[in-house]
Structure 1
Amino acid sequence: MSIVRIALAALRVPANPEESVRLATAAIADAGRAGALVVCFPECYVPGYRWPGVPVPPPDAAFLARAMDEVAQAAQRANITVILGTERVTERGLQISACVIDADGRIAGWQDKGQLDPGEEPTYPASGAERHLFTAGPLTFGVVICHEGWRYPETVRWAARRGAQVVFHPHFGIAEPGSYRPIAFADPANTFHEKAVLCRAAENTCWVASVNCASDGAPTASAIARPDGTLLSFQPYGEEGLLLADIELDEATRLLATRCRTVP
């Protein structure tokens, strides 16, 4: 058996970019003390997700570089691999991404968001095309970001077919005015999104770990789905903290992903 501990950082929505870095580095330290091998943050946690219609500071490449350095140092101190939801300024424009930082503080790579929600396109004009796998000790994992994980099953299958036992799913969602406010995970009265997490796990026979910010009335919770499509655990809605789980990697047989003949 190969059991590893993972952590999902279900933190409050940061008030500003500086606070996002402070909260992230504190959570990295906490996850390291808790014995986690990997900690994953929500979508664009640093410097903060640019919610349509909400004024935010313009993209700042210099700030992002300093933030990555601080987070990398925190990862090294805590001896933990970090999946940081962030953004980066590229020649094609502003891009939603996840930076994977090894436990020695080196950047292992980036997973750019390959499928944008239509509402994001005016703010984040660039989208990625390449997908990547990453490792941390015995764990092989992939990253799919928000919309592409909900609506594009092939993104999760790509990673599972190539050896990922866990696919991390950083996302961002806050309550809309008058929206249903769930109490139980995958409540039938809620949207399809949490049910999609369970489907992505079951249809690929892999673990799926989905992380959102903690906010009042959030439509989706941070949660971990087993390879059989059942729920292992979820963070109570609106409750800030680390969701920790010990997962058995051998349960991720990836059988159904590898039997699929429609994906290259």
Structure 2
Amino acid sequence: MKIALANLRAPSSPAESVSLACAAIAEAGRSGATVICFPECFVPGYRWPNAVSPPPDPVFLEQALVVVAGAAADARIAVILGIERVTDRGLQISACVFNPDGTISGWQDKGQLDPDEEATYPAMGIDRHVFTVGSLTFGVVICHEGWRYPETVRWAVRRGAQVVFHPHASVAEPGSYRPVTFADPANTFHEKAMLCRAAENTCYFASVNCASEGSPTTSAIARPDGTLLCYQPYGREGLLVADIDLSAATGLLASRCKISPM
């Protein structure tokens, strides 16, 4: 089975986020991928702390879902779209999962916010889900919750997920280390955590970020034994498409956990 990660540039506007997403969906469909995953809040664009962003626009977000649904149906591919949504609890970081016919399979809301996000995205999710397309069962954990709360990954694998997708958002900070090789010991722990999440649970872990100059993390896929399957060169925009062997994702170590997760 092929899966695709949309390692695209950060959109310059909400409108561009939708056009970039649709182009990537079409390309992933042509590649033969079963599913494509986008970075965190790719639509309308992640709201960085201390940056000026337009106010949430529920009408735009609803229309974006309609357009992306059409692109998924045209390409016959499942889509995990990092998106924000307006709820009665406030603005929510979420992922909308589309079936290959363009219908919405469901949502995975971010349940563990980074402390820096709480002022911008006050709403937190309380429910976790797994999704199925064909022979693939997968979960979604969003950025901080995948880095700092490994229970979120184990929850999905214990419920049959062979792949856990990890949309995230990360850019270079002033004076930060700028890696050129994956999981460089001089870099932060984050890329090592990708390998750990896979090895801890005997699953594939597929993490996707936008392409940007000096980014501390790139998009990558870790095998169920914790080794690296592939990664996107740092700062290079494009799809990361990989063949995975679902029979290797047994979930063995997740299933052997004697402590009840979440």
* Counterpart pick for 1:112 among 87, 109, 112: 109
Correspondence for 2:206: 209
**Counterpart of 1:196 in 2: which secondary structure?**
helix
Correspondence for 2:90: 93
CA distance in 2, matches of 1:47, 1:13: 10
Correspondence for 2:151: 154
CA distance in 2, matches of 1:263, 1:132: 17
- The runs of at least 4 consecutive aligned structure 1 residues that moved more than 2 Å come to none
In structure 1, the gaps of 5 or more residues are none
Correspondence for 2:34: 37
CA distance in 1, matches of 2:28, 2:112: 30
1:123-142 superposed matches below 5 A: 123-142=120-139
Superposed CA offset, 1:110-166 (max 9, x none):
000000000000000000010001011100000000000000010000000010000
* Counterpart pick for 1:235 among 232, 238, 254: 232
| Contact 1:205/1:252, CA 8 A, preserved across alignment | yes
1:145-224 superposed matches below 5 A: 145-224=142-221
TM-score normalised according to structure 1 size: 0.98
CA distance in 2, matches of 1:174, 1:86: 18
Superposed CA offset, 1:156-204 (max 9, x none):
0000001000000000000001110000111000000000010000000
User: Does 1:66 find its partner at 2:56?
Assistant: no
Superposed CA offset, 1:22-67 (max 9, x none):
0000000000000000000000000000000110100000000000
In structure 2, the gaps of 5 or more residues are none
**Counterpart of 2:111 in 1: which secondary structure?**
coil
Letter in 1 for 2:228: L
| Aligned sequence identity (%) | 74
Correspondence for 2:4: 7
What is the CA RMSD across the aligned residues, in angstroms?
A: 0.5
Correspondence for 1:25: 22
Residue-pair matches, total: 261
CA distance in 2, matches of 1:150, 1:101: 25
CA distance in 1, matches of 2:160, 2:62: 31
| Contact 1:154/1:263, CA 8 A, preserved across alignment | no
TM-score normalised according to structure 2 size: 0.99
Give the drift of 1:263: 2.2
CA distance in 2, matches of 1:31, 1:21: 15
CA distance in 2, matches of 1:83, 1:114: 17
Give the drift of 1:262: 1.1
